[in-house]
């Protein structure tokens, strides 16, 4: 019978570090593996190179209990673990739209060669359909002939900001396997979730790979759908939030992911819809996912619209004018600025000559690596003082709670663009603010 005691997680980025800590929380002995010794040293000390609520505490807890450790030594891990999770990145290829498979391929091949014990390799990374079958062949070719090593696919659906919760109490578990024995191993890994009746979807490789990209493509489509209607209400009038509420009451539609605004960003949705289109085009099916091109275009138009509104409000001249950008991460509770709509808006205004001051509770450090010449302030106050325009680009709780009274006497001119539709217009208008939202028809006096 299959014993699962020791688990390795290859790749200790966002996904891997979270998965490793959560597996330790479930009671397994876990090792996180990475080729970057610096990362291993800081994780061992409980320091994370990114912001994720609750995760540093969980890592420190299990480094202390002894159930969690980190190493760069793949050979040691190959002799030790019963189950190996592959959690390395699949970024967008430089200068292209497909997924860069170098890390997954290299990690899988090196692992297969290092394994000296019967074990299961489980892919978690988001990959083009067909990858698992290809990797299964690679493992068979690279592994030691004396050991039994097979491959399974188990996509991950965690959201940044809720990574620990999503991993410990997932909405569903999807496992693609080629044998019942491999599925049985994964049932042991996830026994706790199964005890809570978490839906368990046991399927083939292709379905498991596609579930992940289909889910992200659907979410992206839902956001662009409402944002396309925002383009209409911007022209004819109407209230995009009321529209979303009203259609969202239909349980077949649902209210979630219908918040119109500056659009989606981050390390997943944008790259995943592009990689999916690229993959189906390779398969000769480019027409099947062509609508995702529109989804992408609608999304990118929102950023341009936010910039155009800023130009309008500043009489088409932004040069030297102080603009406060509130929120630079792609969403709240994260310090991730990958493909961030707010950062894009800030950078466009900065490049147009505006004096951009960014305030973000977590994201400034990462943003400054990309755009070092933009000004990042330590307080909201510093960003808005003497600003001629305020733009709210990420709906952090402290920005949602903003009132005109907070800003009335700081700014030079009372102009605000709420690019996330989280503020209450009448309240601002009562204080003589020129108040604009994406999805709202501009009021002309």
Asked whether the beta carbons of 35 and 72 are under 8 A apart, the reply is yes
Residue closer to ligand UDX, measured from CB, 61 or 165: 165
Backbone angles phi and psi of 187, in degrees to 5: -60, -35
The annotation status of 159 as a binding-site residue, yes or no, is yes
User: Is 22 among the residues known to form the active site?
Assistant: no
Residue written as tokens 């030594």?
Answer: 73
x-marked contacts with ligand UDX along 269-298 as a string, rule CB under 6 A: x-----------------------------
The least distance separating ligand UDX from the CB of residue 174, rounded to whole angstroms, comes to: 12
Residue 306 within binding range of ligand UDX, rule CB under 6 A: no
Residue closer to ligand UDX, measured from CB, 222 or 348: 222
The annotation status of 257 as a binding-site residue, yes or no, is yes
Only one of the segments 41-49, 263-271, 316-324, 368-376 lies at the binding site for ligand UDX (rule: CB under 6 A); that segment is: 263-271
Residue closer to ligand UDX, measured from CB, 136 or 298: 298
Cα-based distances in Å from 367 to 122, 260, 330 = 33, 24, 11
Alpha-carbon distance of 91 to 233, in angstroms, equals 35
Alpha-carbon distance of 75 to 277, in angstroms, equals 37
120, 189, 268, 343: which one binds ligand UDX (CB under 6 A): 268
Question: E-strand spans in 254-393?
Answer: 322-326, 355-359, 375-376, 389-392
The annotation status of 237 as a binding-site residue, yes or no, is no
**126-185 residues near ligand UDX, rule: CB under 6 A:** 157-160
70, 229, 264, 396: which one binds ligand UDX (CB under 6 A): 264
Alpha-carbon distance of 78 to 130, in angstroms, equals 25
Residue closer to ligand UDX, measured from CB, 227 or 375: 227
Q: Let me know if 123 is exposed, middle or buried by CB neighbors in 10 A (0-12, 13-18, 19+).
A: buried
259, 362, 375, 421: which one binds ligand UDX (CB under 6 A): 259
The annotation status of 157 as a binding-site residue, yes or no, is yes
x-marked contacts with ligand UDX along 375-394 as a string, rule CB under 6 A: --------------------
Residue 193 within binding range of ligand UDX, rule CB under 6 A: no
Residue 299: CB atoms within 10 Å: 24
Cα-based distances in Å from 107 to 77, 165, 202 = 13, 27, 25
Taking alpha carbons only, the member of 444, 404, 443, 445 closest to residue 423 is 404
Asked whether the beta carbons of 78 and 70 are under 8 A apart, the reply is no
Alpha-carbon distance of 339 to 264, in angstroms, equals 8
Residue 325 within binding range of ligand UDX, rule CB under 6 A: no
Residue closer to ligand UDX, measured from CB, 339 or 388: 339
Catalytic residue among 240, 268, 349, 354: 268
Residue 51 within binding range of ligand UDX, rule CB under 6 A: no
The least distance separating ligand UDX from the CB of residue 111, rounded to whole angstroms, comes to: 23
Asked whether the beta carbons of 330 and 342 are under 8 A apart, the reply is yes
Taking alpha carbons only, the member of 390, 374, 388, 384 closest to residue 428 is 390
x-marked contacts with ligand UDX along 213-252 as a string, rule CB under 6 A: ---x--x---x-----------------------------
Alpha-carbon distance of 111 to 105, in angstroms, equals 10
C-alpha count within 13 angstroms, C-beta hemisphere, residue 302: 34
The least distance separating ligand UDX from the CB of residue 44, rounded to whole angstroms, comes to: 26
Residue closer to ligand UDX, measured from CB, 177 or 334: 334
Taking alpha carbons only, the member of 337, 307, 266 closest to residue 417 is 307
The annotation status of 212 as a binding-site residue, yes or no, is yes
Q: Which residues of 72-95 are buried (b: 16+ CB within 10 A; e: fewer)?
A: eebeebbebbbbbbbbbbbebbee
Only one of the segments 260-268, 349-357, 423-431, 436-444 lies at the binding site for ligand UDX (rule: CB under 6 A); that segment is: 260-268
Residue closer to ligand UDX, measured from CB, 172 or 424: 172
89, 128, 263, 361: which one binds ligand UDX (CB under 6 A): 263
The annotation status of 69 as a binding-site residue, yes or no, is no
Alpha-carbon distance of 238 to 6, in angstroms, equals 57
Taking alpha carbons only, the member of 419, 10, 19 closest to residue 230 is 419
Query: Which residues does the annotation place in the binding site for NAD(+)?
Result: 34, 39, 90, 126, 160, 271, 338
Residues annotated as part of the active site: 268
Query: Which residues does the annotation place in the binding site for substrate?
Result: 157-160, 212, 257-261, 265, 331
Site residues for ligand UDX per CB under 6 A: 157-160, 216, 219, 223, 257-259, 261, 263-266, 268-269, 330-331
Query: Which residues does the annotation place in the binding site?
Result: 34, 39, 90, 126, 157-160, 212, 257-261, 265, 271, 331, 338
């Amino acid at each position: 019978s299959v014993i699962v005691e020791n688990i390795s997680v290859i790749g200790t980025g966002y996904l891997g570090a979270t998965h490793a800590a959560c597996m330790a929380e479930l009671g397994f002995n876990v090792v996180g593996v990475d080729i970057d010794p610096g990362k291993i040293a800081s994780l061992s000390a409980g320091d994370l190179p990114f912001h994720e609520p609750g995760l540093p505490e969980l890592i420190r807890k299990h480094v202390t209990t002894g159930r969690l450790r980190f190493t760069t030594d793949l050979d040691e891990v190959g002799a030790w673990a019963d189950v190996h999770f592959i959690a390395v990145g699949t970024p967008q290829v430089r200068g292209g739209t497909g997924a860069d498979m170098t890390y997954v391929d290299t990690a899988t091949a090196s692992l297969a060669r290092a394994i000296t014990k019967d074990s299961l390799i489980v892919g978690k990374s988001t990959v083009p359909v067909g990858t698992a079958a290809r990797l299964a062949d690679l493992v068979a070719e690279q592994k030691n002939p004396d050991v039994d090593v097979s491959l399974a696919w188990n996509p991950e659906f965690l959201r940044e900001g809720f990574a620990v919760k999503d991993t410990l109490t997932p909405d569903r578990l999807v496992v693609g396997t080629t044998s019942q024995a491999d599925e049985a191993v994964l049932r042991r890994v996830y026994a706790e979730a199964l005890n809570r009746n978490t839906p368990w979807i046991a399927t083939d490789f292709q379905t498991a790979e596609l579930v992940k990209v289909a889910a992200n493509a659907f979410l992206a489509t839902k956001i662009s759908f409402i944002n396309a209607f925002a383009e209409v209400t911007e022209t004819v009038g109407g209230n995009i939030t009321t529209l979303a509420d009203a259609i969202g009451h239909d349980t077949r539609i649902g209210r979630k992911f219908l918040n119109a605004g500056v659009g989606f960003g981050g390390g997943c949705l944008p790259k995943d819809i592009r990689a999916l289109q690229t993959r189906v085009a390779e398969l000769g099916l480019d027409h099947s996912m062509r609508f995702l091109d529109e989804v992408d275009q609608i999304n990118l138009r929102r950023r341009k619209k936010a910039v155009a509104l800023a130009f309008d409000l500043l009489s088409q001249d932004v040069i030297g004018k102080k603009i406060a950008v509130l929120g630079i991460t792609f969403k709240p509770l994260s310090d991730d600025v990958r493909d961030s709509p707010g950062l894009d808006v800030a950078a466009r205004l900065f490049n147009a000559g505006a004096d951009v001051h960014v305030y973000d509770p977590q994201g400034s450090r990462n943003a400054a690596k990309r755009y070092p010449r933009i000004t990042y302030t330590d307080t909201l106050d510093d960003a808005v003082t003497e600003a001629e325009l305020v733009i709210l680009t990420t709906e952090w709780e402290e920005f949602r709670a903003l009132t005109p009274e907070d800003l009335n006497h700081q700014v030079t001119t009372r102009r605000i663009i709420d690019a996330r539709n989280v503020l209450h217009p009448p309240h601002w208008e009562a204080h003589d603010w020129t108040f604009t939202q994406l999805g709202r028809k501009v009021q002309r006096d």
